[in-house]
Chain A
Amino acid sequence: MKRRHLTLLANALVLLLLYGIGGVYFKNFLTLRVFVNLLGDNAFMGIAAIGMTFVIISGGIDLSVASVIAFTSIFIAQTVHDGLHPWWAMAMALCLGWLFGATQGWLISFFELPPFLVTLSGMFFARGMGYIVNDVSLAIKHGVYSQTIRNLAIPLAKNVRLPFTAQCFILFILAGTFLLAFTRFGRYIYAIGSNEASARLMGVPVHRMKILIYALSGFCAAASGCVVTFYMQSGNSSSFVGLEMDAIASAVIGGTLLSGGVGGVPGTFLGAIILGLIQALISFHGNLNNWWAKIFIGILLFLFISIQQLLSRRLRAAR
């Protein structure tokens, strides 16, 4: 069996285990509704994590995503408040996210700066820009939000509808998987992350690729910001501090290596759902403090990276 399948299998097992725990302890846990909600509740983090997956496979990191999400949410809330149509506001936000990411990618590539530092600067910058747009939480009142989005939900069963946010998530999963596995763009990302110098000698346009990779992450973050507005029906420039770390954790639990060259969107999807499940289990329990979720995630993340390390060491030794 191949290594990446092994990680996916491990993820699936953990997922089943968590579901099993939920099923044993809580009534109604093993229902379609809980699963659909899981998708909807974790859609925005998941979409950001997909963008992050691209960046990490290329050997980089993007710390700015949470700030971009917050900026996008307040940008949409403010512009809609000022009379712009929500669809236009979202289109503009997506363009801004793309441009912001592209700029970061250009700085990283042109000045040969570490992605960590460039996107750290980007994180502060986008966060600050959000406050400039508006420093209070702003509710979005528009027909698109109160009606259209709800009507877009797809009925799956009696009283169970797949929310638009979950649909967006699924769309990004499919598109991301396809992009990585079946396009030259996707394969180049692996090539750069695995060995940048070789990739350059093999004719990969590394400079252009880096701009596009970070642009894509910025775009995913902005899309995630749009999904946040559907979910919260408001925009807030101070929310989601630290969400980029959840995105990184999802990707890493899903088998994407921080050293680059290895990973995939299906894994990140499973990683995001595992994080969501832990959260869901804690809230189903009702008496446990929410911080327990963080503790479990911390332990789980540690277990995953240790196992990955052991596995790759064993494989290396076997040769």
Chain B
Amino acid sequence: MRQEPLLTMRGIEKSFPGVRALKDVDFTLRSGQIHALMGENGAGKSTLIKVLTGVYPRDGGDMAMEGTRIFPSSPRDAEKFGISTVYQEVNLIPHLTVAENICLGREDRAAGIIRWKKVRERARKALARLELDDGIDVEAQLSDCSIAVQQMVAIARALDIDAKVLILDEPTSSLDEAESDELFSIMARLKKRGMGIIFVTHFLDQVYRVSDAITVLRNGQLVGEYSAAELPRLELVARMMGKRAEEVKRLEKRAAVTTKSGRKTVISVRRLARKGSINPIDFDLNEGEVLGLAGLLGSGRSETAEVLFGVDAADAGEIEIDGRATKVDSPAKAMRLGFGMLTEDRKYSGIIPNLSIKENIILAMQAKLGPLKKIPPRQANEIADGFIKALDIRTPSREQLVKNLSGGNQQKVIIARWLAIHPRLLILDEPTRGIDVGTRAEIEELIRKLRDEGMSLLLISSELDEVVRNSQRVLVLRDRNKIAELAGEDISEQRILHTIAQ
């Protein structure tokens, strides 16, 4: 017997200036169902949820709760329809108490005066509903609680209203295993009570452990809705990565890049770890070699790079450079050691839009020299012109502001910035994202050239074929662990997908 769906979303459309974030997306949730929403970066998961909770108004399509059309205009409005959300980053108020965080905006009052005793009671009841074993002190300041407790508080808050739909947006991304288990048992209890739960996560194990149904999005479009029991892992991974399962089976092994043997190891990473971003990991970076990092979103790809470059200091393990153990605790230190890093998001942490190409290129050089030594203008001009020519940056002059360049050319400017300091190791995090096909090929060509000149490169990309084409060795990551290291002929899309889905 199939009952009437709890929540239906049909043909949802949402655009932002320059991007169509959601294209004709359908989503159906039944009561007593845990429904996983899956997809890689930019798939539209967050946007879909924000449309559902009224953070963004939808541009088109229809939404109904138990058959009644709804137009939530704000998170608070959505709560009135019975839709409650626990966001990815725990969205609570750190300086207020647990009790206040559960009851903020719904405090019991008499003549406008808050009855603190009743507020605390209500908070205790809301927490009791989660049947947590250890009591949480409702009078503790939230920022003094662990992330796991904060998460429970957020859920308690979400359930304090009569929610019919609970959205959990990557709730386990900062929890350890025991904490996640506790969350799953809460989810199971809520499910039994007939609540519909939308579960956004990128941990495959967890999806198969708790979900009844899976909806996959890619690039703002619906790939499909599947029953969790009937969708094999490999197929799920393939669909998230935009491949078809049959295609995966057919994928040819690519011709292995001939590698010279006996390459010198430049950097050895031993048991490097940081809580909440990457579990202890080992790998070597060799001279004249590209090491690829493959894995799904949240597997620890970018996190590994960030720990290596000192953006987030490691809390364990060591980095050996030329056989000497070295601490890399800041990007400045990393740069002094000869590391360069092209970040995932060039808009926010890469280019300085209002400076010229030349100024952007000499930036890392200047940072390495320190603020007191000026690079002579002639030399700066020569360097800039050299790179504009070498990388074929299309611009009328070196004085052009970077913000006026296309995405691909901006990316080249940042690469030039790092090349100017002659790094031994260049980390490339999503070097071709949002770049047209032509420029993409040029950047891949450049990667090969740098490798052949003896540079060591670390390549991170969510485009599997890009990793496969350009890497001599590939680390496969899943759930913040290294699960395999492939080399030479073993590197293929099929092999990587199978490894991830294992």
* A interface residues with partner B (beta carbon < 8 Å): 2-3, 182-184, 187-188, 190-191, 193-195, 197-204, 261-262, 319
Contact = CB atoms under 8 A, between A and B. Distances in A.
Nearest to B74: A203
Given A187-B104, A191-B104, A202-B157, 9 more contacts: A182-B113, A183-B112, A184-B107, A188-B104, A190-B93, A202-B104, A202-B105, A203-B104, A204-B104
Contacts of B96: 187, 190-191, 194
B409 to A, nearest CB: 31
Nearest to A195: B93
Interface of B: 55, 74-76, 79, 85, 87, 91-96, 100, 104-105, 107, 109, 112-114, 116, 141, 144, 157
The 9 closest A-B pairs by CB, nearest first: A203-B76, A261-B95, A194-B95, A198-B91, A194-B93, A191-B93, A201-B91, A203-B105, A182-B113
A124 B116 CA distance: 42
A204 B113 contact: no
B94 A261 contact: yes
7 contacts: A2-B141, A3-B141, A195-B92, A198-B91, A201-B55, A261-B95, A262-B95
A183 B93 contact: no
A200 B104 CA distance: 11
Contacts of A195: 91-94
Nearest to B78: A203
Contacts of B75: 200-203
A148 B95 CA distance: 45
B105 A184 contact: yes
A204 B116 CA distance: 19
B93 A198 contact: yes
Nearest to A192: B93
Contacts of B157: 202
A262 B97 CA distance: 12
Contacts of B100: 187
Given A184-B105, A187-B114, A319-B144, A203 B79 contact: yes
Contact of B93 (A2, A3, A202): A202
Contacts of B92: 195, 198, 202
B109 to A, nearest CB: 7
Contact of A194 (B79, B87, B94): B94
Contacts of A262: 95
Contact of B105 (A3, A182, A183, A204): A204
A266 to B, nearest CB: 17
Contacts of B141: 2-3
Nearest to A261: B95
A200 B91 CA distance: 9
A204 to B, nearest CB: 6
Nearest to B90: A198
Contacts, number: 66
A109 to B, nearest CB: 16
B95 A183 contact: no
Given A203-B74, A319-B144, A190 B95 contact: yes
Contacts of A187: 96, 100, 104, 107, 114
Nearest to B50: A201
Contacts of B112: 183-184
A10 to B, nearest CB: 18
B144 A183 contact: no
A53 to B, nearest CB: 15
A193 B96 CA distance: 11
A199 B142 CA distance: 14
A199 B105 CA distance: 10
Nearest to A197: B91
Contacts of A2: 141
A194 B92 CA distance: 9
Contacts of A3: 141
Given A198-B91, A202-B93, A183 B104 contact: no
Nearest to B114: A182
Contacts of B85: 201
B117 to A, nearest CB: 12
Contacts of B113: 182-183
Contacts of A191: 93, 96, 104
A260 B170 CA distance: 28
Nearest to A198: B91
A198 B143 CA distance: 14
A175 to B, nearest CB: 13
Contacts of A203: 74-76, 79, 104-105
A191 B94 CA distance: 8
Given A187-B104, A187-B114, A202 B91 contact: yes
B163 to A, nearest CB: 14
Contacts of B95: 190, 193-194, 261-262
A193 B116 CA distance: 21
B449 to A, nearest CB: 44
Nearest to B75: A201
Nearest to B105: A203
A177 to B, nearest CB: 13
A199 B79 contact: no
A183 B116 CA distance: 10
Nearest to A191: B93
A79 to B, nearest CB: 34
B502 to A, nearest CB: 37
A187 B94 CA distance: 13
A262 B96 CA distance: 9
A204 B100 CA distance: 13
A121 to B, nearest CB: 25
A305 B416 CA distance: 44
B116 to A, nearest CB: 8
Contacts of A198: 91-93
A203 B100 CA distance: 13
A202 B107 CA distance: 13
A198 B153 CA distance: 14
Nearest to B144: A319
A191 B141 CA distance: 13
Contacts of A194: 93-96
A142 B249 CA distance: 96
Name the residue among A2, A3, A203 with the largest chain B CB count within 10 angstroms: A203
A202 B101 CA distance: 9
A187 B107 CA distance: 10
Contacts of A197: 91
Contacts of A193: 95
A21 B114 CA distance: 41
Contacts of B79: 203
Nearest to A260: B95
A261 B93 contact: yes
Contacts of B93: 190-191, 194-195, 198-199, 202, 261
Contacts of B91: 195, 197-198, 201-202
